[in-house]
Structure 1
Amino acid sequence: MPAPRAPGRTRTQILDAAIALVAERGHAGVTMQGVADAAGVDKALLHYYFTNKAGLLAATVDQLGQRLLTGVEAAVAGLDDPSLVVEIGYGALWDHAVDEPALHAAWLSLYAASITTPELAEAVAAVRARYRAMVATRLDAMLAAGWQTVLSHGATVTMVVATIDGFTLALLDGGRTAELDEAIAAMQRMIAALIVRPAP
């Protein structure tokens, strides 16, 4: 008789299958049966854990947020030097995008879909808020350490988030190239230069 599956592991297995299918087909191409087949479980389990496709996709967004942001948050925790925050934070985000492009493809697919799909909007907004809060927390730490921003606080956070989104999309579209690496390095220097020590 086979050993019973751990409920937490089975749920994670389902979400991993959903992420892979979203990355491959987009959210519109994902069905409950398709995810059940990919995860190797009965479709009834998906209804037990998530109720319906909207619930499954919302949980998929949350899982993506955990997997995309947890490592970066840990990498920059406690840093307040702009050059280190930019180097380590951008580096961690970029390494993750290069190492796990399917996760980022799934995230960008669901992010784009949330604009016209109300049942995704709340889950995506929560991940976006966590993403912005991570950047804002590091910026606040730099300001507390005596640095100043050339741009407003909100504009600085928006610039960092938008450039990461754009570079990730460029990576997924055209692969990693020398030109893309050069552009990222230049953007890192530009962002670091926007955080300065006040004149004495």
Structure 2
Amino acid sequence: MPKVGMEPLRRKALIDAAVLAIGERGSLDVTMSEIATRAGVSAALAHHYFGGKDDLLEATMRHILRELGRDSVAALAGVSDPLGRVSAVIAVNFAHSQFRRETIAAWLAFYVEAQRSAPMRRLLRVYTRRLHSNLMSGLRELLPEREAERTAEGIAALIDGLYIRRALVDGAPDAASAVALVEDYLETRLARETART
């Protein structure tokens, strides 16, 4: 008989194992058995909790998005000035919980999977809308609407691009230089608008 309360712990262990397995492989080409072994459970139990690999991968993406959402809320709490809000959104996307080798590989694998999987595509749309909304919460007060929209799009593209570039190099991710690069872009956009007015 299964122990009461073990299901959430095992589900979390399987999700964490999926992130690590995807990170090592650099793709979604991992098996439920590999993930289950990493999590210390049987493949049958992994199938019991998630049905199939696609269900586990979707749950893993949802978990990463929940973590990012939670971190974003915490980063934005109490930040009232618009520039501070935009900077907080940029920084949280390069926080250690997101910008580490395994999670970067998982994000890239999910982007690729979204080309064929409607559920993954929906999840990535949720992410892009949330990022856009969080950026616009500060940018609207700093720039005219059209320029705010363009700047939010540029920042999002830089974040995605830095994840891709990070996946192609060896060594530990350098979050500070990534944040500095995006902040430089933001500063340039703001200076350009100031020069116009």
Q: Deviations over 1:99-134 (max 9, x none)?
A: 63211211111212221x22xx32343244234324
Q: Deviations over 1:157-178 (max 9, x none)?
A: 3222111111122233234698
User: Mapping of 1:40-55 within 5 angstroms?
Assistant: 40-55=40-55
Q: Deviations over 1:11-45 (max 9, x none)?
A: 10011111111111144421111111111111121
Inter-partner Cα distance in structure 1 for 2:173 and 2:62: 30
Inter-partner Cα distance in structure 1 for 2:70 and 2:31: 28
Q: Aligned pair in 2 of structure 1 residues 14, 99: CA closer, same or farther (>3 Å)?
A: same
Inter-partner Cα distance in structure 2 for 1:28 and 1:106: 8
**Bigger shift: 121-130 or 59-68?**
121-130
Inter-partner Cα distance in structure 2 for 1:5 and 1:191: 46
| Length-normalised TM-score, structure 2 | 0.77
User: Mapping of 1:29-108 within 5 angstroms?
Assistant: 29-77=29-77, 79-96=79-96, 100-108=100-108
Inter-partner Cα distance in structure 1 for 2:172 and 2:146: 30
> Contact 1:80–1:138 (CA<8 Å) still a contact in 2?
no
**Bigger shift: 105-114 or 13-22?**
105-114
Inter-partner Cα distance in structure 2 for 1:153 and 1:83: 12
Q: Which residue of 2 aligns with 1:161?
A: 156
Inter-partner Cα distance in structure 1 for 2:114 and 2:77: 29
1:135 counterpart SS class: helix
The sequence identity of aligned pairs, in percent, is 26
Give structure 2 stretches of 5+ with no counterpart.
Answer: none
Match of 1:122 among 112, 119, 124: 119
Number of residue pairs matched?
Answer: 193
Q: Which residue of 1 aligns with 2:182?
A: 187
Q: Aligned pair in 2 of structure 1 residues 127, 80: CA closer, same or farther (>3 Å)?
A: farther
| Length-normalised TM-score, structure 1 | 0.76
Inter-partner Cα distance in structure 1 for 2:12 and 2:90: 28
Q: Which residue of 2 aligns with 1:15?
A: 15
Matched, 1:173 2:160: no
Match of 1:139 among 118, 136, 139: 136
Q: Aligned pair in 2 of structure 1 residues 85, 37: CA closer, same or farther (>3 Å)?
A: same
Following superposition, which runs of at least 4 residues in structure 1 exceed 6 angstroms of deviation?
none
